[in-house]
Amino acid sequence: MTRRLLFNTTRSIIIERGAAARLAEQVQTMGHRSVLLVTDSGVLATGLLAPVQKSFAEKGIALQVFSEVQADPPESVILDAVQAAWQCSADCVIGFGGGSSLDAAKLTALLARSEESLADIYGIERTNGRRLPLILVPTTAGTGSEVTAVSVITTGEGQKNVVISPALLPDIALLDADLTLGLPKAVTAATGIDSMVHAIESYTSRHLKNPISDCLAREALRLLGDNLERVCDDGADAQARENMLLGACLAGMAFANAPVAAVHALAYPLGARFHVPHGLSNSLVLAPVMRFNLEAAAPLYAELADILLPHGRGAILERAMALIAHLQALPAQLGLPTRLRDVGVSEDDLEFLAKEASLQTRLLGNNPRELTVDDIHAIYQQVF
């Protein structure tokens, strides 16, 4: 059978420090007159939006800010944002913030135009694909949401659902490292490890792994590995910040086409039930999931070890184990919690978490090695 390779990504990516302050110029060039900007209260409080708002006022373009997005946004936030878009007659949507804000903006742009029901479009390509023009501006180097066709929504206690459609890819992704200069070390560390997980899981994905995503994953891991500790030591290092943003973007492009797996499956209920930030959730379960996968993924892990540990020696298994040891030590070195008990999880919660993670069949199916609910419980137990 002839092999078919399909690779999708964002139409236009702009990488420029200070470009966010000129967003109004970009919007004016596109011919829009009323914009809804979707963000969260934390971003609003930082003052990052002040130059953006000033530029829109100077250009005479109406800008309505919706700042009610929360981490792991529930359906109600999306529906409220859609109402805000309708009320201001938005002809363009901007997502500005972390992954939750970008995911919310994607669905807002889609539902405000298509007027579909959110409940009807969960799953893969169940939308008619009509949306408002969309610009995404990440303020963290983590999720890669600006180049993925996925939005993740919390639909119940401990439960998440997804909308997957090429329509969610924005018209423009704008990477402005100046927006990330003030990020706290803990956020920088967690989102950076999140990006590394995207690269690792894309490279080892059982389904849709391909030469393009592999190239992107390797370069993403190189950029992230070379700059994460550097930027955590000096948050004002603008070049390291830009390298992290680019690394996160490349990792997002990779996993958007060769999807993530068990690390994300185990992370999802931690975010939905305990509101653990997504990057930290991934960080907590990364090493034990990789150890579980060793028998199926050791050769690929060894190849990635050569990127992060270029002076490593040994056979395939030794190099793969060295990579896992390095990634297990990294969170503590960066000051992140390393145990589930440190983020509010009790031992009695592990059974619930394992059951919820086992329902993430879309993700678990991509894992190099099949997991049972007992396997998942054992992994949570290791990091409790």
What contacts 257, CB < 8 A, 6 or more positions away?
6, 7, 8, 9, 202, 208, 210, 212, 213
Centroid of chain to Cα 18: 22
Domains recognised in the chain with CATH numbers: 12-180 (3.40.50.1970), 185-382 (1.20.1090.10)
Residue range 63-90, pLDDT digits in tens: 999 999 998 889 999 999 999 999 999 9
Q: In angstroms, rounded to a whole number, what is the distance separating the alpha carbons of residues 188 and 248?
A: 12
Centroid of chain to Cα 247: 12
Supply the pLDDT for residue 142: 86
CB 40 within 8 A of CB 98: yes
Angle formed at CA 259 by CA 336 and CA 39, multiple of 5 degrees: 60
Q: Which residues pair with 134 in a beta bridge?
A: 93
Supply the pLDDT for residue 76: 94
Instruction: Tell whether the model's pLDDT for residue 10 goes beyond 70.
Output: yes
What does the pLDDT average to over 117-128?
Answer: 91
Supply the pLDDT for residue 157: 66
Q: Which of 106, 114, 118 is nearest to 147 (CA)?
A: 106
Instruction: Give the amino acid at 307.
Output: I
CB 120 within 8 A of CB 161: no
Instruction: Tell whether the model's pLDDT for residue 341 goes beyond 80.
Output: yes
Share of the chain above pLDDT 70, in %: 99
Supply the pLDDT for residue 56: 97
Among 88-97, 106-115, 152-161, 193-202, the range scoring the smallest mean pLDDT is: 152-161
Among 156-160, 186-190, 220-224, the range scoring the smallest mean pLDDT is: 156-160
What does the pLDDT average to over 103-109?
Answer: 97
Share of the chain above pLDDT 90, in %: 88
Residue range 250-292, pLDDT digits in tens: 999 999 999 999 999 999 999 888 989 999 999 999 999 999 9
Instruction: Tell whether the model's pLDDT for residue 186 goes beyond 90.
Output: yes
Residue range 147-157, pLDDT digits in tens: 999 998 988 76
Angle formed at CA 73 by CA 290 and CA 82, multiple of 5 degrees: 140
What does the pLDDT average to over 360-367?
Answer: 95
Alpha-helical runs (H) found in 60-158: 75-87, 99-114
Q: Is the dihedral of CA 365, 168, 218, 323 positive or negative?
A: negative
What does the pLDDT average to over 216-222?
Answer: 98
The β-bridge relationship of strands 172-175 and 12-15 is: parallel
- Mean pLDDT estimate for the chain: 95
Q: pLDDT class for 6, splitting at 50, 70, 90?
A: confident
What does the pLDDT average to over 216-238?
Answer: 97
Supply the pLDDT for residue 158: 59
What contacts 77, CB < 8 A, 6 or more positions away?
68, 69, 70, 104
Composition of the chain by helix, strand, coil, percent to 5:
60, 15, 30
CB 288 within 8 A of CB 89: no
Instruction: Tell whether the model's pLDDT for residue 1 goes beyond 70.
Output: no
Supply the pLDDT for residue 244: 97
**End-to-end Cα, the chain, rounded Å:** 46
- Phi first, then psi, for residue 372 (nearest 5°) are -95, 170
> Which one is predicted more confidently, 247 or 73?
247
- Phi first, then psi, for residue 368 (nearest 5°) are -60, -25
